Chain A
Amino acid sequence: MRLIHRSHRAANAVRTVSPSGELFVASIVICMILASFGDAVDPTWFGEAGLEFAIFDLGGEFSVLAMRHWHLLELLLAGGVMAAGIMILRIVAGAFFRPLDPADSGAVEKVPIKL
C-alpha cells in the first residue's frame, strides 16, 4: 500500500485536484511534449532544405527547437510561465467579453429603453 493512499484526496487526485494545480501540471506536460518535439526535429534539416532563414530570421530560436534537451527544472519553470499566461489571458478575455453579455431583464443595471 502506498503512503498517498492514506489520504482520500490524494488517492483520487484526478478528481480532487484544484483547477489552478491542474492547469500548472497540464502546462508542464505540454512543455514536455514540446521538448520531445524539439528532440525529434534536427535543426540541420533546415539547412539541408535551404530553410536556414526559418530558424534565424523568422524567430525560430524561440520555437520548440530551443526546447531540445530541456531539464525538468526548465520544464517546470516554462510550465509555470505558461500556466500564468493562460490564467491572465482567461481573466483579460473574461473582462473583455463579460460586458458583451446582455444583463438579465430583471437586473438592476438593466437600462430601460422605451422607443
Chain B
Amino acid sequence: MELELFSGAFFSALLAIILIDLVLAGDNALIIGLVARNLPKESQNRVIFWGTFGAIAIRALMAILVVYILAVPGFMLAGGLALVWIARKLLTPQDSAEESHLVKAPAASFAAAVRTIIIADAVMGIDNVLAIGGASHGSILLILLGLAISVPIIVWGSQLVIKLVDRYPSVILLGGAVLCWTAYGMIVREPMLVSWFEAHPAAKLVLAVLAFSIALAPWYAERLSESMKPLTVLLPAILIWMLGFEVAASVWKVQADYLMATTQGEYLMEGLRWIGWLPLAALFLWVRERLVLRSARLARSPQ
C-alpha cells in the first residue's frame, strides 16, 4: 500500500514509528560503557565513535533489508506474530534491573570492542526495525524518517527518553497498543491471507481482539483479582479455538456456519465449535487449581 505524502495516513504511520522508536530504543550507551571500560582512554573515544557509527550503519542496512523481506509471502504474518509477542514483553513488569546478556566481558582490543557494539545493536534493533517496517507500509521515505528519528535517540537522546517515560509511563502502554495495532495490520495485509480475510471478514475482529488479549495480558492481569487471573489464558485460548474452526472450515472445505449446515455432521461440528471449549476450560482450571496453586500454597505455608 503506497501512502500519499503528508496525508493523514502518512502522519499516522510517522507517529507510530516515533512511538515505536521511543519504546523499543536499545541502551547503546550502556553497551558501549560495558565493552570499553577496560580499554585505554584514547581507545575509548575511538570505540565510542566507531561503535556508534557501526551501530547506525547496521541499523540502516537492516531497515532497508526488512522492506524487501516483508514483501516475501509469509514474512508479514511471521513479523506480525513476533510483534504481538514483543508488545507483550514490553508491558511485562521488570522487578529488578535487567543485566545486559549481550556483553559477557569487557573487550580486550579496539576491533573486538567495535564488533561487540555492532552485534549488540543489531540484536537489540531487530524488533525496532521489524516494527518500523510494519508501520511504514513499505514506504522508503517513512523508513528513512524512522531512521532519522532513531539515530539521535541512539546517540544523544537517551536521557530525554528516560525522563519522558519516567514521567509518563502511559507512553509505554500506548507504545504496546500501537505495536499490537501494527501487528494486526501486518497480519491482515499478509499477501497469502488477504483473500481469506476478504472471504471471512468477521475473522478480522476475532484476530484484533486475540492480538490485544495476548499483547495486553500483563496490563489487564494487574487489574484482575486472583480468581479472575486464568482469564489471561482462557480468553486468547477461546479466540484461537474459534479462529481455528474458521481456518479448518476453509482448509478442509467443511461447513462451519450453522445457518447453512444441512447434515448431522455439520451440526455436530457447529456444536463442538461453540461449546466444545467448555470441558477444556474446566480441565485447565482444575489442573491449575490442583498443581500450580496447591504447590504455591504449600511453598508459602510454614514448615
Q: Once the chains bind, are B170 and A25 in contact (CB under 8 Å)?
A: yes
Q: Once the chains bind, are B201 and A1 in contact (CB under 8 Å)?
A: no
For the complex, is B32 an interface residue (Cβ under 8 Å from A)? no
**Interface SS, B side:** helix
For the complex, is B205 an interface residue (Cβ under 8 Å from A)? yes
Most buried by A among B11, B98, B219: B219
Q: Once the chains bind, are A21 and B162 in contact (CB under 8 Å)?
A: no
Q: Once the chains bind, are B173 and A7 in contact (CB under 8 Å)?
A: no
Please classify how large the interface on chain B is, using the bins under 10, 10 to 19, 20 to 34, 35 or more.
35 or more
For the complex, is A105 an interface residue (Cβ under 8 Å from B)? no
**A residues lining the B interface (CB < 8 Å):** 1-7, 9-18, 21-22, 24-25, 28-29, 32-33, 36-37, 39-42, 71-76
> Would you list which residues of chain B between 142 and 174 have a CB under 8 Å from chain A?
153, 158, 161-162, 165-166, 168-174
Q: Once the chains bind, are A3 and B25 in contact (CB under 8 Å)?
A: yes
For the complex, is B126 an interface residue (Cβ under 8 Å from A)? no
Q: Once the chains bind, are B100 and A1 in contact (CB under 8 Å)?
A: yes
Our count of residue pairs bridging A and B at CB distance below 8 angstroms stands at 142
Shortest CB distance A66–B (Å): 15
**Interface SS, A side:** helix
Find chain A residues with CB under 8 A from B170 CB: 13, 17-18, 21-22, 24-25
Q: Once the chains bind, are A29 and B216 in contact (CB under 8 Å)?
A: yes
Shortest CB distance B169–A (Å): 4
List 4 additional A-B contacts (Cβ < 8 Å) besides A1-B124, A32-B208: A3-B158, A4-B23, A39-B205, A71-B11
Residue of A nearest to B166 (CB): A7
Q: Once the chains bind, are A41 and B27 in contact (CB under 8 Å)?
A: no
Q: A21 to B205, alpha carbons, bound, how many Å?
A: 25
> Would you list which residues of chain B between 52 and 103 have a CB under 8 Å from chain A?
90-91, 93-95, 97-100, 102
